[in-house]
Structure 1
Amino acid sequence: MKLLILKSTILFFSFLLVSGHLFCQNKFNSQGARMSKISGHIKSEKRIDSIMFYWDANEDIADWHNWVITVPVKEGYFSVSCILKHVAQFAVGYNLNNVFYLEPGDSLHIEIVENKEWDQLTFSGRGAFKCRVQQAADEINTNMIKSENKAKFVCSGLDDYLITSNYYKDLQRVRLAYLESKKDSISEDVYPLVQASILCPLEHYRLSKLDDFVRKYKQFGLTEKDLLAIYDSTVNKSFINKIAYNKNLAYSLSYLSYVHVTAIPNKVKWEMRKSGASVSSLDFTYHNEYLLSKNSYSGMFRERILTRLFRKYIKYVDLSSSFLKSDIEDYLSETGFKSYKEFVKGLYQKSNSFSKGNLAPNFSLVDNFGKKVTLDDFKGKVVLIDFWFTGCHPCAQLVPTLRQIQQHFNDNPNVVIINVSIDKEKEQWLNSLAKGKYSTGLGVCLYTEGKGNRHQIINDYGVQGYPRLVIIDKSARIVRASPPDSRPLGNGQDEIELINRLLK
């Protein structure tokens, strides 16, 4: 990859990803800042022109969706470089189940054997040992008997939960023991991050099983007192408590996700159970999550947890909620981490401007035939818009449902289904349309003309994650702007019924 040096001083180093150039801007002093590099080779029978990287090398970027970059591939080879002053996390092909770590001065080489998930990776070069250790630990299994119920999150009784819980605890124990045997060869900065990558997914699976058990515990003849005792004995003694909190965990997607998605919500829920309080509303629950997150953590880790919480908070509760307003005001009143404050403020403002009943913003985008398309072209019609990008696994999960919706309204000229891709490469977008994996490739197919998620439509429509569905009525007013889940369950019957009502 051709690297264009835009600016180089003692305090600022920048690289730009435009037409194949990487942009990675950081503010730092000269001490500890070193060039780091990832190169690689892809073994594939087909031509590959680019590869996606999840690349967290800029601590000033609050929105982790902006950590995704596209790296050019020439004759199967690619290379990406950046000057680092701290640990960075990366994933190849946006497979966030395999996040690895890069330290200042590392020079990794990755051999990739193409498959569906881009997860057959072989590491060599300076800094490769920690990646190989993480891979080896993830592959360790035990001889314990798994629960007969193979669905991880479905529980058939107390024995089923305890077998599953013990299975994951045993996996944590043996994998942690293996990692500790390699401790002297892994830096203190990276060690807790690798710990988190190994332990957090297992704990998430275990607690997901517990959640289903809790929903059904009365069916199993248990009392609330029994439930609290089970929680204390199976969760509070988890191996995950061995992870020593330090500032570098801000660069661990595994730990951030575990704390945000699993640990904090569970802590709030169980503390309320112990106190005998009942959850009166979703915004009250998020308010308690905000207070716990705010008071439990510090530094950039705290900021990254809070921005994730506010993304969820703003998306799922009524924007007029007094809890939401007071918590945002409290957060914005703090000093420091300006980019994170601006991100949260922007989310709130966008959500307020793009809400149910408001007129949908007009747009002008190019379709796959090179024709300019605007929202005004569909006056008097019901419009469903799907926002997606190549490599988005949740987007791929949505496709079967979208096919059902499109098939139902295929012969109805008063219903228009639009898909908008944020792919930066036109060829990649067109290839994805043809394959129909991340989008159906049917209906009106638009893309953001190489601007990715920085296009004005993404801002105007308040898109915070992908996939994202928006439904607009015949008068061009927003009917559904923040669905409870952007991936409808079943065959999309809820969306079909809503659109049918709007047609009347």
Structure 2
Amino acid sequence: MILFKILGMATMFFITGCSQTNKQTTLNNTNGEPVVISGSFKQIESARDSLRIYFGGIVSGNRKLQVLDTMIYSDSNGRFSFTSSKISENQRITIAFYRKRNSSGRYYNAFRDYLVSPGDTIKVQVDRRGDKATYDFSGSSNPFFELQCHLDFQANSQFDRFKEHYGHTLYNLEIHKRFGITQQWGDSILNHQLQYLKEFKPKLPSKMYATIKAEVIGDNYYKYRNYWSLKNSSLTDQDRKVLMAMVDDTFQSLIKENEVANSWKSVKYLSLLPIGKLILEHPNDRDFEFDKIYTKNFSALCDFWKNELDGRLQEMLFIFNLQNPKVTDTNGFEACLYTGYTLIKSPDLKKIMQQWYGRKVRGAQAYNFKLQDTLGNMVRLEDFKGKVVYLEVWFTGCGACRVLAKQVDQKVYPKFKDNKDMVFISISMDKNRNQWLKSVASEHYGLKEHVHLYTNGQGMKHPFIKYYGIQGGPTTMIIDKHGKMFSVTPPKIGKSKELIALLEEALAK
């Protein structure tokens, strides 16, 4: 039995959305062997601890991308157990421990996106009796799981040490020198980690070794080479020259790694690295900086992935970024969506594109919903054939839904209220019909002149909601006169003029 203490991992694990506790869905795989995670909680006071487990998928934790999401509770003796469906190749697992004391609770994200293999049996004792967590591993597959845990802890503790050592003193240096020192520190940590990992190379399957190596490099670069944080107004010509060389060197060093496409940390980093390059290439344009590119120039990122990469890595970058909630650049997103939809060829990724995104590309047949209005009449999308439909999905208590509704009602709707070829529809995910009717009557979520429809208490389980993978509100879309998708990401809050222009474009078709 190997004792491995993890100190200082008090990272908050913020959970969004709803899940069914104690209900395990299975991955579609009937061959191979399952992965078994078991263990117990050591504690002083009596409490029911639990684990949130994400298993499998392209990007762990994203339910759109074929991930099992389940909650496992410990029994009265603090024991817990999880058995996956059978798998025939390596999968990822995230284990987030939940500690409930009195009326409060907290997730601790201890093991995130670790690789496991068919037949792995891992046992872990979680000691929560103090303020710090101690994990005691055993089991047939423990060494490889513990290896990832060790690399994780080492990376995080050294990064904390770096911040303590330098504090804010780096900000007194020229920017390229600041990045040079940061990268030098990161490289020393990376070399040490790769040497430690190399000791396990004879024992690890070659693909797992290469993937873990790519994970270590991607995580290190994310911490010490964050070029996307650059600000054009602060850069000198010398900064640009030196930093551009550093960005290019970083890009080339990472993409040559085997299995980089199967490393979510490397894919995440390569999603951000081009922002730094675009900043340096556009010295007088703030619209390429991090806080603007997702709202104004998302297509520039997609062009980079399309032109500079190929194969599975290129496909993974499109899959990963098309589900980025930060993207509100309507034209950029839809151009990127179309590019990804036509470019991706790998069968597993193509299936995801067709299932989740193929339904959203411009020209795709829209879902012909059948929903109840406030009078109990059934309303179908086909009832509005010949009209452009602006549709908003919302729920009571959604603050952003109220803000958007107010903006649309005051600045957008008046432009089209007399146009017989235009209709505004709101669809509520409320589970309580009386609550929905009360919210409709308040006009906080849309004027009474709009068509108000109800998902009959099914909320996110309604077929229409599930068809588009809607995870919350406000979710909006525009459907053209022929019942086909025109825009799946219409401009939202603060973009009334852009929304008006897009609706006028749809009406002109």
TM-score by length of 1: 0.59
Offset, 1:481? 8.7
- In 2, distance between residues paired with 1:216 and 1:277? 8
Offset, 1:269? 4.5
RMSD: 4.8
- 1:98 alignment partner, SS class: strand
Instruction: After superposition, give the CA deviation of every residue in 1:40-78 in whole Å (9 maximum; x if it has no partner).
Output: 322343432642112125899872485422234323222
- 2:431 alignment partner, SS class: strand
State whether residues 35 and 84 of structure 2, in contact with CA within 8 Å, keep that contact through their aligned partners in structure 1: yes
Query: Alignment length, in residue pairs?
Result: 374
Partner of 1:69: 70
Instruction: After superposition, give the CA deviation of every residue in 1:336-389 in whole Å (9 maximum; x if it has no partner).
Output: 4223322123456799743853543234426xxxxx6532212454759xxxxx
- In 1, distance between residues paired with 2:359 and 2:224? 35
**Structure 1's 214 and 180: CA in aligned 2 closer, same or farther, altered over 3 A?**
farther
- In 1, distance between residues paired with 2:169 and 2:208? 30
Q: Out of 362, 366, 390, which is 2:428 matched to? A: 362
What pairs up with 1:89-104 in 2 under 5 angstroms? 89-93=92-96, 95=109, 98-104=112-118
**Structure 1's 228 and 122: CA in aligned 2 closer, same or farther, altered over 3 A?**
farther
Runs of 4+ aligned structure 1 residues displaced above 6 Å come to: 58-62, 115-119, 141-145, 151-156, 274-278, 349-352
Percent of aligned pairs with the same amino acid: 12
State whether residues 53 and 70 of structure 2, in contact with CA within 8 Å, keep that contact through their aligned partners in structure 1: yes
Which protein has the larger Cα radius of gyration, Structure 1 or Structure 2?
A: 2
- 2:89 alignment partner, SS class: coil
State whether residues 173 and 239 of structure 1, in contact with CA within 8 Å, keep that contact through their aligned partners in structure 2: no
Within the alignment, does 1:331 sit opposite 2:340 as a pair?
yes
- In 2, distance between residues paired with 1:285 and 1:68? 33
Partner of 1:175: 193
Partner of 2:372: none
Partner of 2:140: 126
Within the alignment, does 1:255 sit opposite 2:266 as a pair?
yes
State whether residues 34 and 85 of structure 1, in contact with CA within 8 Å, keep that contact through their aligned partners in structure 2: yes
- 1:190 alignment partner, SS class: helix
Q: For 1:53, give the aligned amino acid.
A: I
What runs of 5+ residues in structure 2 fail to find an aligned partner?
Answer: 1-18, 97-106, 368-388, 394-403, 409-423, 446-455, 477-489, 495-509
Instruction: After superposition, give the CA deviation of every residue in 1:253-288 in whole Å (9 maximum; x if it has no partner).
Output: 32332222x234345555x45999985975773223
Instruction: After superposition, give the CA deviation of every residue in 1:61-119 in whole Å (9 maximum; x if it has no partner).
Output: 87248542223432322222221111111111183873311111211112223499997
Partner of 2:211: 193
Partner of 1:378: 439
What runs of 5+ residues in structure 1 fail to find an aligned partner?
Answer: 1-16, 367-371, 385-447, 473-479, 485-504
- In 1, distance between residues paired with 2:442 and 2:134? 46
Q: For 1:23, give the aligned amino acid.
A: T
State whether residues 287 and 327 of structure 1, in contact with CA within 8 Å, keep that contact through their aligned partners in structure 2: yes
- In 1, distance between residues paired with 2:467 and 2:354? 20
- 1:63 alignment partner, SS class: helix
- In 2, distance between residues paired with 1:312 and 1:212? 18
Partner of 1:236: 249
**Structure 1's 39 and 202: CA in aligned 2 closer, same or farther, altered over 3 A?**
same
State whether residues 124 and 136 of structure 2, in contact with CA within 8 Å, keep that contact through their aligned partners in structure 1: yes
Offset, 1:455? 5.6
- In 2, distance between residues paired with 1:469 and 1:116? 40
Instruction: After superposition, give the CA deviation of every residue in 1:120-146 in whole Å (9 maximum; x if it has no partner).
Output: 543321222122122223344669965
TM-score by length of 2: 0.59
- 1:112 alignment partner, SS class: strand
Partner of 2:34: 35
- In 1, distance between residues paired with 2:131 and 2:358? 35
Instruction: After superposition, give the CA deviation of every residue in 1:178-197 in whole Å (9 maximum; x if it has no partner).
Output: 21232222221211232233
Q: Out of 289, 292, 301, which is 2:301 matched to? A: 289
State whether residues 108 and 123 of structure 1, in contact with CA within 8 Å, keep that contact through their aligned partners in structure 2: yes
- In 1, distance between residues paired with 2:56 and 2:194? 25
What pairs up with 1:478-493 in 2 under 5 angstroms? none
State whether residues 307 and 344 of structure 1, in contact with CA within 8 Å, keep that contact through their aligned partners in structure 2: no
